[in-house]
């Protein structure tokens, strides 16, 4: 119950774009003895997810989202400063976002949560290059690596981080919305462990083995199709954009949302190929439906998109089948 009041006060501060009030709320909670991980998960992360939903529903613009995120980054920095005073346990962890992953705040929250439990953390920023990651891996020699992944499009590059760390014997904990609600995708990509929130991230981190073995390869056919999809991404987007009723003539919705939904759908196919989990596709289809409905686009645009994708993926049988089977009609569509 208390958490709900904290959350609504914090959400009010975000709605008013009041950075000082938001930072003050989290600082007061910490000074009053509230667990820093609870402040991060129940207040900052929860409010950010609501920000995303407001954008998804068309209530807030991208600019609104950016303004709120900047405030939440400041609030998380205030928590980081507070937990920076707490004692260290002697264990080190490298926290990273893989290439193509621009959602840095979840990684900040995880780094901060681990620091509050004594882990000495090095946080690499958004969209870390593999070279930079490997350099830090070699220089720091961490006890563990934590990789945060929010968008499906960054799961393939996350796999590369998992490979690099495992090859060095370092265990990898993964998490973030792209992994979904269980450990299926994480296991398929070879991660040592997965956790769904910052509380369980701390617990999972403390249970990691000291050393892990190098990983076996992923299934060759799936990897090949995923690579082809990656190489052809722009051409596929352009070809579907030229035919899809939402995007073939210029319109404000088509320009931004149309391209976003196409990119996300192709990323979902890549994610499903690499992980063997088809849920990214059905979940993305629902997300597309939701976004388009919120902007008064008829559900038939989604059915049409599925048909165009099936045609353009004709020579990629695994991908085509995933779309045919899982990119289905919108919930409740006649
Ligand atoms: C802010 C934001 C952005 C900012 C990020 C800035 C920053 N400094 O972080 C910017 C503007 C860059 C951005 C860009 C985009 N975004 Co964005 N973004 C968000 C938003 C609103 C908040 C993200 C956030 O901070 N969440 C709070 C975090 C802390 O919550 P969390 O992820 O659940 O984290 C918890 C767990 O997942 C777990 N966890 C997280 N990481 C880890 C790591 C480990 C190791 C472990 C164990 C656990 C763990 O613990 C956390 C705390 O409990 C979300 C909405 C949402 N639902 O989150 C959309 C959202 C993630 N974005 C989305 C999209 C579509 C995009 C863009 C494609 C849009 C565009 N056209 O630009 C791009 C993609 C960029 C890219 N390639 O990465 C979609 C993704 C949809 C989907 N189906 O995948 C979302 C869900 C919005 C929506 N409702 O549609 N975004």
Q: How far is the CA of 26 from the centre of ligand 1 (A)?
A: 21
Q: How far is the CA of 90 from the centre of ligand 1 (A)?
A: 31
pLDDT surpassing 90 at residue 70 = yes
pLDDT surpassing 70 at residue 1 = no
pLDDT surpassing 60 at residue 238 = yes
Q: How far is the CA of 49 from the centre of ligand 1 (A)?
A: 8
Residue-wise pLDDT for 144-164, tens only, equals 999 999 999 999 999 999 999
pLDDT surpassing 70 at residue 253 = yes
What pLDDT is stored for residue 56 in this prediction?
A: 87
The residue whose C-alpha atom lies closest to atom 12 belonging to ligand 1 is 102
pLDDT surpassing 90 at residue 4 = no
Write 176-180 long-range contacts (CB < 8 A, 24+). Answer: 176/103, 176/106, 176/147, 176/148, 176/149, 176/150, 177/106, 177/149, 177/150, 177/151, 178/149, 178/150, 178/151, 178/152, 178/154, 178/271, 178/280, 179/149, 179/155, 180/277, 180/279, 180/280, 180/283
What pLDDT is stored for residue 250 in this prediction?
A: 84
pLDDT surpassing 60 at residue 178 = yes
pLDDT surpassing 70 at residue 73 = yes
What pLDDT is stored for residue 256 in this prediction?
A: 81
Atom of ligand 1 nearest to the CA of 152: 84
For the chain, give the mean pLDDT: 95
pLDDT band at 79 (very low <50, low <70, confident <90, very high): very high
> Does the Cβ of 51 fall within 6 Å of ligand 1?
yes
> Does the Cβ of 175 fall within 6 Å of ligand 1?
yes
The residue whose C-alpha atom lies closest to atom 27 belonging to ligand 1 is 45
Residue-wise pLDDT for 97-120, tens only, equals 999 999 999 999 999 999 999 999
> Does the Cβ of 288 fall within 6 Å of ligand 1?
no
The pick from 103, 187, 207 for probing ligand 1's pocket by mutation, whose C-beta has the most ligand atoms within 8 angstroms, reads: 103
């Amino acid at each position: 119950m208390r958490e709900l009041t904290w959350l609504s006060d914090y959400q009010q501060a975000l709605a008013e774009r009041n950075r000082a009030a938001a930072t003050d709320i989290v600082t007061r909670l910490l000074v009053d003895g509230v667990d820093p991980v609870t402040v991060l998960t129940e207040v900052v992360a929860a409010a950010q997810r609501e920000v995303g939903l407001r954008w998804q529903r068309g209530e807030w613009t991208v600019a609104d989202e950016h303004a709120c995120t900047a405030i939440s980054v400041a609030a998380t920095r205030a928590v980081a400063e507070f937990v920076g005073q707490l004692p260290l346990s002697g264990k080190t962890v490298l926290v990273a976002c893989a290439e193509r992953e621009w959602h840095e705040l979840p990684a900040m929250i995880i780094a901060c949560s681990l620091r509050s439990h004594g882990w000495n953390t090095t946080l690499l920023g958004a969209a870390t290059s593999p070279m930079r990651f490997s350099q830090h891996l070699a220089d720091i020699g961490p006890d563990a690596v934590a990789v945060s992944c929010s968008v499906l499009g960054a799961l393939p590059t996350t796999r590369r981080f998992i490979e690099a760390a495992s090859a060095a014997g370092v265990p990898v904990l993964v998490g973030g919305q792209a992994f979904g609600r269980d450990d299926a995708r994480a296991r398929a990509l070879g991660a040592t462990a997965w956790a769904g929130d910052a509380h369980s991230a701390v617990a999972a981190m403390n249970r990691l083995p000291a050393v892990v073995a190098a990983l076996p390869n992923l299934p060759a056919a799936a990897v090949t199709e995923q690579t082809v999809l990656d190489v052809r991404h722009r051409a596929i987007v352009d070809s579907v954009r030229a035919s899809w009723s939402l995007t073939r003539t210029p319109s404000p919705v088509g320009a931004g949302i149309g391209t976003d939904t196409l990119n996300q759908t192709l990323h979902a196919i890549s994610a499903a190929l690499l992980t063997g989990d088809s849920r990214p596709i059905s979940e993305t289809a629902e997300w597309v439906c939701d976004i388009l409905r919120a902007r008064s686009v008829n559900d038939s645009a989604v059915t049409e998109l599925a048909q165009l994708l099936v045609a353009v993926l004709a020579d990629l049988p695994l991908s085509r089948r995933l779309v045919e089977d899982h990119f289905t009609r919108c919930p409740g569509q006649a």
